[in-house]
Each structure stands twice: as C-alpha cells, then as structure tokens.
C-alpha cells in the first residue's frame, strides 16, 4: 500500500527584508494510514510550516507533496477545498471567533454538506468521541485549555478525515490533560485508521509515536531508535467508527 502522505525533497524559504531564510531543506517524509508521526523541534524550526505544506496551505519552493498518490501542486482551488473538507482535518489552536456553544462550533463546517439534523448528529458523535458530551452546550470562553484542545480535535474529525494535522496539541496543558489528548490521538490512529502528523516542542512529547522526526536547521531526521510501545492504560478495547467514514482504498 502506498503512503497516504508523501513529502519528497521539499524545500521552503521566506524573505525577511532582503534576506532569504531557508526554513525547510530537502525534507522527505512518508506517512501511512493508521500511523502517528511526531515532528519535534524548537520554536521557529519550521514545524508549523511543514504541517501547512502537508495541507497545501502553503506551497513548497522545491520538491513535491502528495496525498494518496495525488500531487497537491496540481489541484485547483476547488479541488483543494474539497480535499480539506473531506480528507484532511486541521486541528486549530484557536476556537470560533464568536463565543459559540461547542456543539454549534463542531457542527458548523458540516451544515453546508448535510442537513441540520445530520450535521448535529455527526457533531454530537465527534464531541462524544473526544469525551466532552457533558460540555457540548458550554461556550468556548468557559472551557479550560485541555477541553479547548479536545474540542478542536472534535471539530477536525467530525467530517471523518483520513489525515489529521495537529500543531502542538499539548501546549499549555498540565500532565493529566496532556495524557488525555495523547491517548485520544492514539485511539483515533488505532481504532479509526486515521493518519496523524503532529508537531511537538520536545522529544518526550513525541516518544509514543510510530515515527519520530527531529527538525532543526531546516533538516528533518528520523529518530535514532524506535519508540517504546504505548503503556497498557492507553490501549482501548472498543472500536468506535465515526458516522459516514470513508473506506480506505
């Protein structure tokens, strides 16, 4: 089976005044369905840029980015919008611009494609999947940081994507909240066969991933040794499938 996400020889630079700053140099990465890959590096190392390239929110200066064998550079804007709507979920750091109820926030991107009843049924399922049914009718401003991260994941998975892009999901969280978020991401990979590409600020936060990469000086390098398997308490016995999930091909 081919890679779901493939970056080959990707380079990206930005201009700061008259100076060209190379952020990524010859980056190559492959991610299969049902895998979690973590990229760790210091602030400003290019982790967020890497995720944006994976979603074609930015375009590389060199190399190629492919999703399910399709080069993203060849997509029209309409095709790209469809890709982000149906296949790639982006976990946002920030919430809604207005102080919406969480269920409304999760249902909002579904309303254009589904009737109101179906959209809210899918939203309720996603909120339940992240363990926040009791908070579904609370507003963004009343949630703690950990709950906001989980609702961000619910917002992204409500459309049953095949790839989830997560930028530093454990930022500003305490140990218990970090464990909860990490356990959820692993369960999505194991039970839903979602591929997850996650950016984290340090190696310990990456240690439970299937693939670990470090990013520094624009270069992406694989971890020198495979990570330890997840602790037993992170394993889940019940398989739950999101409504309307696409079949893998």
Main-chain dihedrals φ then ψ at residue 106, nearest 5 degrees: -70, -35
Query: At 64, phi and psi to the nearest 5?
Result: -140, 155
Q: Let me know: does 132 contact 138? Beta carbons within 8 Å.
A: no
The pLDDT tens digits for 69-101 are 999 999 999 999 989 888 999 997 777 777 889
Question: Angle, nearest 10°, between helix axes 116-129 and 145-157?
Answer: 130
Rounded to an integer, what distance in angstroms lies between the CA atom of residue 179 and that of residue 174? 9
Q: Is 159 helix (H, G, I), strand (E, B) or coil?
A: coil
User: What pLDDT shows up at residue 43?
Assistant: 86
Output phi, psi for 193, to 5 deg. Answer: 60, 25
pLDDT of residue 106: 94
> Residues 13, 23: contact at Cβ < 8 Å?
yes
**Residue that the structure tokens 């149906």 belong to:** 86
Pair of tokens at residue 8: 């080959």
Q: Where are the domains of the chain?
A: 93-160
Nearest Cα neighbor of 150 from 177, 118, 110, 168 is 177
* Residue spans of the chain under pLDDT 50: 225-227, 232-249
Determine the pLDDT at residue 224.
Answer: 58
Question: pLDDT tens digits, residue range 132-162?
Answer: 999 899 998 899 999 999 999 999 999 999 9
d(CA 147, CA 98): 17
């Amino acid at each position: 089976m081919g890679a779901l996400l493939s970056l080959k020889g990707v380079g990206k630079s930005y201009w700061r005044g008259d100076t060209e700053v190379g952020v990524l140099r010859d980056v190559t990465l492959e991610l299969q369905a049902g895998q979690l890959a973590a990229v760790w590096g210091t602030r400003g190392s290019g982790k967020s840029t890497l995720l944006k390239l994976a979603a074609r929110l930015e375009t590389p200066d060199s190399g190629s980015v492919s999703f399910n064998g399709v080069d993203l550079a060849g997509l029209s804007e309409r095709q790209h919008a469809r890709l982000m709507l149906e296949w790639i979920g982006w976990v946002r750091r920030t919430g809604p611009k207005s102080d919406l109820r969480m269920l409304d926030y999760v249902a909002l991107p579904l309303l254009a494609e589904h009737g109101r009843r179906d959209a809210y049924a899918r939203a309720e399922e996603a909120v339940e999947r992240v363990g926040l049914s009791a908070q579904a009718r609370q507003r963004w401003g009343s949630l703690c940081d950990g709950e906001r991260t989980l609702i961000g994941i619910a917002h992204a998975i409500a459309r049953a994507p095949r790839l989830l892009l997560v930028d530093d999901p454990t930022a500003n969280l305490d140990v218990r909240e970090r464990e909860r978020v990490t356990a959820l991401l692993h369960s999505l990979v194991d039970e839903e066969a979602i591929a997850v590409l996650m950016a984290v600020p340090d190696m310990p936060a990456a240690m439970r991933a299937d693939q670990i990469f470090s990013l520094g000086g624009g270069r992406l390098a694989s971890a020198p040794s495979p990570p330890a398997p997840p602790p037993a308490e992170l394993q889940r016995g019940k398989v739950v499938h999101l409504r309307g999930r696409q079949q893998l091909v």
